[in-house]
Structure 1
Amino acid sequence: MGAYSLSLSVSLLVFAFLGAGVWIFAGVLLVSVSSLLILLDFPIDRIAVLAKTAMFRSSTGWELSALPLFIWMGEIVFRTDVAERLFRGLSPLANCVPGRLLHTNVSGCTLFGAVCGSSAATAATVGKITTKALAQRGYDVDLTIGSLAAAGSLGLLIPPSIVMIVYGVIAEVSIAKLFIAGFVPGFIIAGVFSCFIAVRCWLKPSLSPAEEISLGVGEAARAMLGLWPVLLLIIVVMGSIYTGIATPTEAAAVGVGATFAIAALTRQLSWGLAQESALAAVRSSCMILSIMISASLLSTTLAYLHIPNDLAHVVQQSGLGPYQLIIAIGVLYLVLGCFLDGVSITVMTMPVVLPLITAAGFDPLWFGVFLVIMVELGQITPPVGFNLFVLQGLTGQPLSRVAKASAPFGILMLACLAVLTIWPGIVMWLPNLLQP
């Protein structure tokens, strides 16, 4: 069978199992086993040995230990008043530009994303404060929802990022360099979002209220002091990585300790908080790692079927240019983002996509940022955009309205991605400058 026929057969199996509502990790395992049995006629005992080897190899990487620790750090922060402190601290600064407090959605999600690593958690934590506050002050509902849903996705790009850790392990790319590479694109996208809000409100002032409560210099300074927990965590975690003091895994452990210390200093530390956050981190980590383990067997299966190499050869022979290839892959990720979460997309596509990318001359480090931005877009595309569901639950608005409000920000994200593709040096500059 040719590469196209084998790829089609495997794709049909994927859609058959996942379309039947099977859990993702179980569906991927079934696809792998079925492919080995049907397409390669492997005996059961050999499949068992392959599964054991692949799963052990994918689950024993030292880098993976950072994943549950960063998730735990985010869960602790989620259960404290850090988001409320963020809103109060950013409000005096946001009042100075058109759009006023709408900018707290973007800046709050950007800062919170630097200590969380999860898109949905960032949108939910910041949103539970800002949606109510902005609605009470009379801000435009659609602009509030759209900016929050889109900016919340920056939790995947601004390090530490769960998707970046998963990609780094699979693609064998330095996680520290991936974290560094995400900073500039993340802040560029956040800046574009803020510029869009400012222009919209400047052209149509009714989108934001004309009167705001003015704070004195002393009151504004005291409010901005509320930013210290987030800023301290960023300095401790990211600073330890970029100065070379700690690896990402060690920095994750330091971050958990610092988060507990902050919870204690703000008198929010309790046994209940520690227990609930730990259990939530275990559930999330088990979900992600189970998908990674099952995907490792799928990767092995595809290798035995020679699908990645055959497809790479087909692409090379077809004369498809690098930009045409990246557009085709981008369209694929847009479609997948409508139905799957970022971790699933990453682990399921890497065995096929990564050889194509490297053969076309793209840097795997740059592609990691490209992938994360595409995953971010999936967070705000229906029918399974997780941030859309988060905002629907927070605001009570129909899903269609939430998706429509997020659409302009999705277009802006695509425009930023096009710029990063044409000028990849924007992504590569900081990692090349800082070599942890």
Structure 2
Amino acid sequence: MDVGLIGAFLGLVLVVVLAGGFWVALSLFAVGILGIAAFSSSPPGAILATTSWGQSWSWSLTALPLFIWMGEILFRTRLAEDMFKGLAPWVTRIPGRLMHVNVVGCGIFAAVSGSSAATTATIGRITIPELAKRGYDERMTLGTLAGSATLGLLIPPSIILIVYGVAADVSISRLFIAGVVPGLVLVTLFMSTIVVWALLNPSKVPAAEFSMSFGQKIMAAGRLIPIVLLIVGVIGSIYLGFATATEAAAVGVAGALLLSAVTGSLSWRTFKESLLGATGTSCMIAFILAGAAFLSVAMGFTGIPRQLAEWIAGLQLSPMMLLFALTVFFAVLGCFLDGISIVVLTVAVIMPMVEQAGIDLIWFGIYIVVVVEMSQITPPIGLNLFVIQSLTGRDLLYLARAALPFFIVMVVMVALLIVFPDMATYLPRQMTTG
């Protein structure tokens, strides 16, 4: 049977199984077994066992549950409330005023969470009622939250960057450092969007409620010290070479436990809930990674990745055209799959053509995360939109329209990454050479 027909058949089976509501991991395992059993003489059981074991004991994967646990601990602290009170006095003179707290707050929490959904829920439960009470435009408030919370995927420690690093066999520490500058640029773009909107719609921005002296602002900013120290401890230890990503994750968990104890939110109940939440999420992601690794090996037995890479090479696409095609491809996938599933489903297949095009794998990791960020605010599978819907009860299409300006900002960010690749590669090079 022609390899192209085999690939089309297995792809169709995977789409049907996923559309039927089966777990992503189980769907990957099922299609992999079918591919090996039907189109190869190799034993699927033995391959399943060895591939799953080989994927699950990866040392790089150890950072994943630790960073997830850190985010779960901080989710149960007063962190979001303290950030709102610490940031609010500093943004009242910027057009858009307190809406900027959504952006900066999401950026800060993303630096200790690694999860877009957790960032949305944590910041949203504080800022949505506070901004509504002060008369801020609801649509723009929800749009800024939906867009800014995607920073949880990009700003380290990012869970999806860990998944990409494991799947593509790339240094997770270097990926983390590569995400710093693009993350800050995206924060700047989001804040600039709010400024432009506020200047065009001055009647929709309430007047400043209070005025503080510089000394009072400094006192209020003291609430940010614990979280800033935690960020410095995690990211700084990686950049300075004091710790690997896994060791930095352990530092982050210890710091998060200390922070929750100091704020009085650490109890046996919250400790147990955070541990169970982290265990459930980690097992889900590890299960998906194992399924993706097995499906990748199964595809190798059919020869599909090799023929696909040869076909792409035969098209003689320039790196720019390849990236354009991949951007459209990932954006479409993002309408139906979550970010982690997109990465584990596609990385093994597209890596040969990406390497053949001479694209830096560290840069590509940041690129793919920014593109996947876009899918967090696009229906029907926009996780950030679902979280905000649970907080507000608003219609999903209303939320998608509110987030549209920030979707456009992320498209601009993809273009900036392509035009200025050093944005993602400069700091990792300093790690290597410094």
Same fold (TM over 0.5): yes
Which of 402, 413, 416 is the aligned partner of 1:416? 413
The residue aligned with 1:250 is 247
Kindly indicate whether the alpha-carbon contact (under 8 Å) linking 1:337 and 1:378 is maintained by their aligned counterparts in 2: yes
Runs (4+) of structure 1 exceeding 6 A deviation are none
The residue aligned with 2:143 is 146
How far apart are 1:41 and its partner, in Å? 4.9
The residue aligned with 1:434 is 431
Q: 1:241, 1:289 → 2: CA distance?
A: 23
Aligned residue runs from structure 1 range 93-242, under 5 A = 93-242=90-239
Aligned residue runs from structure 1 range 6-155, under 5 A = 6-42=6-42, 46-155=43-152
Which of 315, 319, 329 is the aligned partner of 1:322? 319
Aligned residue runs from structure 1 range 259-298, under 5 A = 259-298=256-295
The total of aligned residue pairs comes to 433
How far apart are 1:245 and its partner, in Å? 1.1
Kindly indicate whether the alpha-carbon contact (under 8 Å) linking 2:97 and 2:208 is maintained by their aligned counterparts in 1: no
Q: 2:2, 2:321 → 1: CA distance?
A: 23
How far apart are 1:170 and its partner, in Å? 1.2
Q: Percent of aligned pairs with the same residue?
A: 45
Q: 2:430, 2:139 → 1: CA distance?
A: 40
The residue aligned with 1:4 is 4
Aligned residue runs from structure 1 range 315-394, under 5 A = 315-394=312-391
Partner secondary structure for residue 213 of structure 1: coil
Q: 2:214, 2:208 → 1: CA distance?
A: 18
Letter paired with 2:26: A
Letter paired with 1:115: V
Aligned-CA RMSD value: 1.2
Per-residue CA deviations over 1:46-95 (Å, capped at 9, x if unaligned) read: 11110011101111111111100000000000000001111111101111
Letter paired with 1:359: Q
Q: Which moved more, 1:158-167 or 1:254-263?
A: 254-263
Per-residue CA deviations over 1:246-268 (Å, capped at 9, x if unaligned) read: 11101111111111111112222
Q: 1:414, 1:231 → 2: CA distance?
A: 29
**Could you list the runs of 5+ residues in structure 2 that have no partner in the other structure?**
none
Kindly indicate whether the alpha-carbon contact (under 8 Å) linking 1:149 and 1:387 is maintained by their aligned counterparts in 2: yes
Kindly indicate whether the alpha-carbon contact (under 8 Å) linking 1:3 and 1:311 is maintained by their aligned counterparts in 2: no
Letter paired with 1:102: M
Per-residue CA deviations over 1:160-192 (Å, capped at 9, x if unaligned) read: 000000110111111010001001111111100
Letter paired with 1:185: P
Partner secondary structure for residue 434 of structure 1: helix
Q: 2:430, 2:406 → 1: CA distance?
A: 30
How far apart are 1:3 and its partner, in Å? 4.4
Aligned residue runs from structure 1 range 395-406, under 5 A = 395-406=392-403
Q: 1:434, 1:95 → 2: CA distance?
A: 37
Q: 1:196, 1:78 → 2: CA distance?
A: 28
Letter paired with 2:10: V
Partner secondary structure for residue 150 of structure 2: helix
How far apart are 1:410 and its partner, in Å? 0.5
Kindly indicate whether the alpha-carbon contact (under 8 Å) linking 1:82 and 1:229 is maintained by their aligned counterparts in 2: no
Q: Which moved more, 1:71-80 or 1:319-328?
A: 319-328
Kindly indicate whether the alpha-carbon contact (under 8 Å) linking 2:92 and 2:208 is maintained by their aligned counterparts in 1: no
How far apart are 1:345 and its partner, in Å? 0.8
**Could you list the runs of 5+ residues in structure 1 that have no partner in the other structure?**
none
Q: 2:336, 2:204 → 1: CA distance?
A: 33
Letter paired with 1:156: L
